[in-house]
Structure 1
Amino acid sequence: EAVASLLPPTLRPELRLKWPNDLLHDRAKLAGILLESSGVAGAEVAWVAIGMGVNLATHPEGLEYKATSLAALGVSGVTPDDALTALDKAFEHWLGVWRGQQGFAAIREAWLKRAEGIGGPIVVRLSSGALEGIFESLAPDGALQLRLADGTLQLVSAGDVFFGPPAPGPAR
């Protein structure tokens, strides 16, 4: 919502969310969130650091994912202060939803309306390998629900999502 408020209405429908933490415009990464946390095994989280970034004036090239920026979309002159003001307004709204009677369920529902790739094939790259399947939905706790080829529903709490079938490997 913060980024959408910085775009002209004609560009807003192309904004989609890529699980778990990226904002895409026409499948190119425009913004993202990174969470890091620490705690003692079996105990509560001791701390959480949240980083958020929006490509305002430039964007990286030559990455695994295509990236874009507001400037590349024809939206120039957006300052970091403009983006921060928009983020503050959107964050306040959704924090109110979280704390109110609606909780995470309302956030999940809104996220699903903007989700990219639901119902389609994805590859989820994990630290232990990769999983392939159909992106079915989000679990009530926000985990990705991946339907594997054997029909099993696999819940994924962290991973890197790639859309479409896996790229063919080298000939053997």
Structure 2
Amino acid sequence: MNAELATNILDNLVQEKRGEPLNRLQRAIIQGVLDGLTYQEIKNNYAIARNYQICYLARYVAYHLWKLLTEVLKDAGIIDPDERVRNKNLWESAMRVAQQSVQSESVQKSQPPVPPDPRLDRKLRMRYRITEHLVSTEFSDTYLAEDEDVPDRPLCAVKRLKSQSIETTKLFEREARVL
């Protein structure tokens, strides 16, 4: 594993756990540290870091970055509660994240695959091709379809009622009027 791949692995974990990726400066610090660079060398080698003072990079950005990575890795169960991520153990932390992602992928592969929806790619009324399943409720399934008779193939919603009861039909008619 190289520094760029390790940076991507850490970035993906942060995005998965926090909902937003690392910024470019944080990525530059991680990649520089993994490449064995000092903060001075990171400042010189990465354009994003050139406008910052070395003490700002080390004492503010890196400090908060190590704190963030520590929280994310603890939340993911990758490091123990008393461990902290630092520049000295960043490689080890990245390797643990990579190892866990490989293990979780093998667990996912061992589970039986979900069969594809038989309605996908079906054509309705010789015109509407179903492309995607959007949502299922207790009353209906909703699909996305393309109108193949129109040149730019506009999208439309297609409902399949699960029950033909009067209440379900009234609910569908009311929804159709609103749309």
Common fold by TM > 0.5: no
Q: Which has the larger radius of gyration?
A: 2
Name the one with the larger strand percent. 1
Normalising by the residue count of structure 1, what TM-score does the alignment of the two structures yield? 0.25
Normalising by the residue count of structure 2, what TM-score does the alignment of the two structures yield?
Answer: 0.25
Question: Which of 1 and 2 has higher RCO (CA within 8 Å, sep 6+)?
Answer: 1
Higher helix share: 2
